[in-house]
């Protein structure tokens, strides 16, 4: 384990300050102090980082188009176990560590669940000593910054590199890689073989920026390698003699610069609706090609036979965005290594595995063949050949044309990326038990029936080090006081907390900590939004992307209903509640933006109505992201997980909230099902349609939102509020939402689940008044959250997918 004494640290800090900025510490800004601290930490870990990268065992490469890392300083200090000495050392230099922790930018290089999961996976791979590295894109602009103007979402570019650099990264120009776009393919005779010549292509340089990923209290330091796109201005020993010939004009040079740099300029802010934009396809090929070339380059240095690649390398495709890993690896094995198709295919499929994250049709990537053909001519040829061979297989095995259509890789002039992933990998997994079951039984049924052995479930998780130890230190300390600290490396030990479920003083202690966290959050809300919230009220939290299927609308309509009830009957029995929302909408998703405006407008009305505002407060935090989540989650009493059943693949905020002692209010969707199984029916509040009911409605119809609206007084009352001016200044937005519910028959069953949801909320109201029972439920949630650590998830991936059949697997059994 690396260590550093306080004395040595102070010396290093001062020396670094001089060499970087040539100024005394007292003149430095917080950003400068932070950059110096990051450099000192990087110096401390440098040797271990290099050593981790010397190939030993099989390595895992996790390809993901987004990584939502969050701030790194605090978690790095925690994992290195040097927080105390650094804090003391800084104090003696007149510096507060917390000021530097807060000065760090939060890199928003992801949209939501998928990107954050990838970040938690990196943490767990390093902490389990797996040589597992991430490959992604170093976007110049991450997810937009959200501002509210008159209640509307306004997007501002996220300029996370405005300080000039990201202090944790190390750029490695000597490891840059050329990625080739467009051009033509020529087959030339070379002795008795045909050789592939790619001519007139546009070379784009992929520049690697490495971020260290530090394992918890061990010596493993893995790498997240993010690629930045640049013009190819230098020759790093890569043959680019067939590249396109530019005339050398100023215009040409500018056009080329734009072409190259545009690729990693901005993260697509969409996490549900596939749009088929050319730039997105460029991004996908850019980082997969760079990554695969990098892996092969490293492998070649070991001088081992390329046919043994699968023994040394596992490549994981996170959703379909990195699908092009498959044809790219084939290209290298065929064109550069000269293997036969059969040999190359065997190596490729044995090396690559794939995770599916959604069953929603509109999020499924299907790229027009013309687009792929022009942008990636050689890759397209390979996809075509994969498809041709697969069709032969299908024709041989099945007669059912419909079924075959469904399974083809190239279909209706599109390349179906999920189908390519399924055919080109040895493992396909869903992200929660219900999700995997739906994949097998519904969405991917034909593929499952064809090759059942390829399918498996890996229920998601969360990095408990960030989401409990680092963000809720008081709770973490209480747990350690009660059951010792073994739970930090084995979260199933949290179960030992159950023995305190009848211990009043422990339950009170838990309550005090929650209260303390709520006071912190209340102060933050007061200072930031100038809204007073009562820490004694129930903190009811829904934090996730804004999407119709996640049903923030159900939540706010129920709040409106409560409001009416309170106005009609001021003695209405209700514990004070603070409803907290955090959500970004994709900029082009009009309905989602209307819902944001609606929530803000209702908040405005209720928060300013003295008749009720002792009882209800609504806070919609601006610019929700990892850092805000770390503040909100420890303070939550209730976690809202209210998606339309079948639609949420897993969810992960449900796990974070549970682990911090919030009670889950949920439909039996995604991983909520497994939370329910862990805590039992006494410790979760369920409501809503079952998965089967939703599937049946979708298949056979039978639901009329209009009938329900007409027959239910309370439902009618809140739906009418959308269009009758009761909530001011939202005529067109209200109409849009109204239409989605009534005219288009409520696709996500908001009204259908409304009554049941409101009963569940009433139940919570009662339960919270029995404080000891509530605290017991909270304790039971923490005690049973252990299986949702990504340490569990990652060891399952390791055992069943990445190291299956390998010697090293013994570690994970």
CA–CA gap between residue 739 and residue 500 (Å, rounded): 51
Out of 652, 664, 667, 790, which one is annotated catalytic?
652
Q: Which residues pair with 231 in a beta bridge?
A: 204
58 given a catalytic annotation: no
Out of 58, 133, 656, 752, which one is annotated catalytic?
656
Burial 9-44 (b: 16+ CB within 10 A, else e): bbebbeebbeeebeeebeebeeebbbbbbbbbbbeb
Out of 312, 357, 465, 593, which one is annotated catalytic?
357
Cβ 514 to ligand 26Y shortest distance, Å: 25
Do residues 177 and 294 lie in contact, with contact meaning Cβ atoms separated by under 8 Å? yes
Q: Which tokens hold the place of 808?
A: 């090293």
Sorted by sequence, the CB contacts under 8 Å of residue 116 that are 6+ apart come out as: 68, 70, 110, 626, 652
CA–CA gap between residue 681 and residue 675 (Å, rounded): 10
Cβ 676 to ligand 26Y shortest distance, Å: 16
- Please, which residue, 127 or 355, has the CB nearer to ligand 26Y? 355
435 given a catalytic annotation: no
- Please, which residue, 640 or 648, has the CB nearer to ligand 26Y? 648
Out of 228, 550, 551, 593, which one is annotated catalytic?
550
- Please, which residue, 214 or 655, has the CB nearer to ligand 26Y? 655
Q: What is the DSSP string of 530-576?
A: -----TTSEEEEEES---GGGTHHHHHHHHHHHHHHHHH-TT-----
Cβ 354 to ligand 26Y shortest distance, Å: 13
CA–CA gap between residue 645 and residue 456 (Å, rounded): 21
Sorted by sequence, the CB contacts under 8 Å of residue 71 that are 6+ apart come out as: 101, 104, 105, 106, 626, 627
Cβ 191 to ligand 26Y shortest distance, Å: 44
6 given a catalytic annotation: no
Do residues 343 and 309 lie in contact, with contact meaning Cβ atoms separated by under 8 Å? no
**Residues contributing to the site for ligand 26Y (CB under 6 A):** 111-114, 117, 270-271, 273-274, 357-358, 363, 365, 431, 460, 648-652, 670
357 given a catalytic annotation: yes
- Please, which residue, 566 or 583, has the CB nearer to ligand 26Y? 583
Cβ 143 to ligand 26Y shortest distance, Å: 11
CA–CA gap between residue 252 and residue 747 (Å, rounded): 50
- Please, which residue, 114 or 386, has the CB nearer to ligand 26Y? 114
Out of 133, 509, 545, 792, which one is annotated catalytic?
545
- Please, which residue, 69 or 727, has the CB nearer to ligand 26Y? 69
What is the rounded (10 degree) CA torsion for 673, 678, 683, 686?
10
Among all residues, whose Cβ is closest to ligand 26Y? Answer: 113
544 given a catalytic annotation: yes
Burial 56-86 (b: 16+ CB within 10 A, else e): eebbbbbbbbbbbbbbbbbbbbbbbebbebb
550 given a catalytic annotation: yes
Cβ 194 to ligand 26Y shortest distance, Å: 36
Which residue, 354, 270, 274, 369, is CA-closest to 315? 354
Cβ 671 to ligand 26Y shortest distance, Å: 7
Cβ 108 to ligand 26Y shortest distance, Å: 14
- Please, which residue, 749 or 788, has the CB nearer to ligand 26Y? 788
- Please, which residue, 431 or 468, has the CB nearer to ligand 26Y? 431
Out of 312, 544, 551, 577, which one is annotated catalytic?
544
Q: What is the DSSP string of 16-32?
A: HHHHHH-S-GGG--HHH
Sorted by sequence, the CB contacts under 8 Å of residue 813 that are 6+ apart come out as: 799
Catalytic residues: 357, 544-545, 550, 652, 656
């Amino acid at each position: 384990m690396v260590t550093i004494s306080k004395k040595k640290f102070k010396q290093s800090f001062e020396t670094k300050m001089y060499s970087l900025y040539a100024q005394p510490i007292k003149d430095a800004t917080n950003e400068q102090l932070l950059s110096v601290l990051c450099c000192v930490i990087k110096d401390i870990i440098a040797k271990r980082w290099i050593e981790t990268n010397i190939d030993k065992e099989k390595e895992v490469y996790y390809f993901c188009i987004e990584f939502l890392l969050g701030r790194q300083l605090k978690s790095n200090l925690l994992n290195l176990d040097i927080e105390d000495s650094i804090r003391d050392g800084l104090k003696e230099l007149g510096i507060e560590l917390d000021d530097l922790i807060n000065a760090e930018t939060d890199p928003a290089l992801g949209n939501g669940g998928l990107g954050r999961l990838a970040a938690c996976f990196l943490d767990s791979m390093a902490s389990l000593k797996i040589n597992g590295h991430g490959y992604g894109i170093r976007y110049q602009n991450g997810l937009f910054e959200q501002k509210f103007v008159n209640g509307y979402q306004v997007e501002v570019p996220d300029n996370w590199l405005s300080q000039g650099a990201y202090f944790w990264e190390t750029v490695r120009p000597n490891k840059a890689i050329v990625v080739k776009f467009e051009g033509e393919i020529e087959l030339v005779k070379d002795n008795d073989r045909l050789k592939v010549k790619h001519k007139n292509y546009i070379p784009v340089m992929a520049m690697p920026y490495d971020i260290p990923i530090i394992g918890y209290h061990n010596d493993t330091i893995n790498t997240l390698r993010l690629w930045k796109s640049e013009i190819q201005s230098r020759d790093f020993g890569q043959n680019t003699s067939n590249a396109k010939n530019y005339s050398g004009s100023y215009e040409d040079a500018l056009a080329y610069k734009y072409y190259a740099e545009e690729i990693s300029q901005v993260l697509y802010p969409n996490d549900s609706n596939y749009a088929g934009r050319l730039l997105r396809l460029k991004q996908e090929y850019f980082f997969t090609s760079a990554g695969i070339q990098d892996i092969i380059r490293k492998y070649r240095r070991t001088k081992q036979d390329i046919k043994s690649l699968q023994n040394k390398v596992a490549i994981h495709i996170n959703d379909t965005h990195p699908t092009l890993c498959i044809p790219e690896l084939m290209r290298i094995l065929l064109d550069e290594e000269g293997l036969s198709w059969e040999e190359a295919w065997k190596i490729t499929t044995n090396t690559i595995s794939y995770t599916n994250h959604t069953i929603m049709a509109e999020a499924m990537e299907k790229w027009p063949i013309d687009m792929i053909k022009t942008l990636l001519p050689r890759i397209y040829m390979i996809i075509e050949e994969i498809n041709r061979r697969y069709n032969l297989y299908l024709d041989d095995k099945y007669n059912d044309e419909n079924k075959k259509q469904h399974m083809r890789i190239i279909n209706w002039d599109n390349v179906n990326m999920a189908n390519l992933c399924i055919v080109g990998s040895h493992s396909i997994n869903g992200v929660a038990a219900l999700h995997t079951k739906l994949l097998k039984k519904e969405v991917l049924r034909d593929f499952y029936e064809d090759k059942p052995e390829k399918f498996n479930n890996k229920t998601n998780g969360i990095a408990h080090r960030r989401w409990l130890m680092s963000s809720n230190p008081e709770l973490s300390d209480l747990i350690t006081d009660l059951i010792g600290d073994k739970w930090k490396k084995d979260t199933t030990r949290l179960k030992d907390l159950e023995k305190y479920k009848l211990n009043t003083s422990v339950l009170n202690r838990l309550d005090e900590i929650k209260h303390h966290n709520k006071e912190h959050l209340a102060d933050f809300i007061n200072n930031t939004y100038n809204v007073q919230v009562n820490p004694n009220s129930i903190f009811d939290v829904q934090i996730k992307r804004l999407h119709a299927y996640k049903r923030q609308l159900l939540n706010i309509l129920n709040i409106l209903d409560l409001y009416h009830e309170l106005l009609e009957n001021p003695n209405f029995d209700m514990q004070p509640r603070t409803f907290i929302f955090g959500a970004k909408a994709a900029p082009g998703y009009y309905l989602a933006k209307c819902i944001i405006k609606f929530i803000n407008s209702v908040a405005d009305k209720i928060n300013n109505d003295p008749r009720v505002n002792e009882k209800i407060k609504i806070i919609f935090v601006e610019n929700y992201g990892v850092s805000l989540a770390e503040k909100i989650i420890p303070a939550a009493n209730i976690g809202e997980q209210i998606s339309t059943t079948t639609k949420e693949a897993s969810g992960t905020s449900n796990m974070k909230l549970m682990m911090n002692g919030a009670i889950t209010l949920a439909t039996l969707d995604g991983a909520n099902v497994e939370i329910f199984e862990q805590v039992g029916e006494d410790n979760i509040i369920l409501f809503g349609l079952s998965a089967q009911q939703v599937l049946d409605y979708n298949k056979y119809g039978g639901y009329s939102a209009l009938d329900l609206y007409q027959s239910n007084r309370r439902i009618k009352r809140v739906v009418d509020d959308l269009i009758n001016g009761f909530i001011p200044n939202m005529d067109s937005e209200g109409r849009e939402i109204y239409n989605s519910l009534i005219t288009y028959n409520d696709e996500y069953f908001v009204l259908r689940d409304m009554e049941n949801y409101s009963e569940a909320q009433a139940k919570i109201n009662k339960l919270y008044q029995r404080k000891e029972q509530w605290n017991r439920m909270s304790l039971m949630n923490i005690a049973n959250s252990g299986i949702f650590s990504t340490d569990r998830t990652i060891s399952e991936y390791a055992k069943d997918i990445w190291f299956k059949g390998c010697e090293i697997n013994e570690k994970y059994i």
